[in-house]
Each structure stands twice: as C-alpha cells, then as structure tokens.
Amino acid sequence: MDNYKCKLCGKKLTNWKSIQRGFGPVCENKYLDDIYKNQQVTLYSILAEREKGGNNNGK
Ligand SMILES: [Zn+2]
C-alpha cells in the first residue's frame, strides 16, 4: 500500500499531497505545464470538431 510512485519520474512519493496528485512537486510543474499545452490543443480540437458537425455537443 505504500507503493506510491511519481507518474513522471517513478520516484517514491512520501508527501500525502504528492501521493494524491500522483507526482512529486517538481514534476507537478512539468505535468501542469503539459496539461496546459494539451488543453490548448484540445480547445482547438473542439473548435475544429464544432466546425465539422458539432451536433452532439451541449444538448
Ligand atoms: Zn517525479
């Protein structure tokens, strides 16, 4: 049960906060940065999707 490791670097996590997040504080910045980039990509994807058909989004 104490086998918590960072999802990014595989380092053992000792802080409960880090365990809940799944990665250490150092990797958190990288992870959040990655999410931010992905969100931007996703946003564009959504816009493109809407332009294509977009009939099952929302209602
Ligand atoms: Zn890490």
- pLDDT surpasses 60 at 54: no
Q: What is the model's pLDDT at position 6? A: 92
Compute the radius of gyration of the chain from its Cα atoms: 17
pLDDT digits (tens, 9 = 90+) for 35-46: 778 877 777 787
Q: What is residue 11's predicted lDDT score, i.e. its pLDDT?
A: 93
Nearest Cα residue to 7 out of 29, 28, 22: 22
pLDDT tens-digit series, residues 10-21: 999 999 989 998
Amino acid letter, residue 14 = T
Reduced to 3 states (helix: H, G, I; strand: E, B; else coil), residue 2 is coil
Q: Give residue 47's pLDDT.
A: 84
Distance 59 CA to ligand 1 centre (A): 40
In the structure, ligand 1 is a single-atom ion and the residues with CB under 5 Å from it are 6, 8-9, 11, 24, 27
Residue 56 has a pLDDT of 60
Cα distance from N-terminal residue to C-terminal residue, the chain: 42
- Measure the CA angle with vertex 11, ends 10 and 12; round to 5°: 115
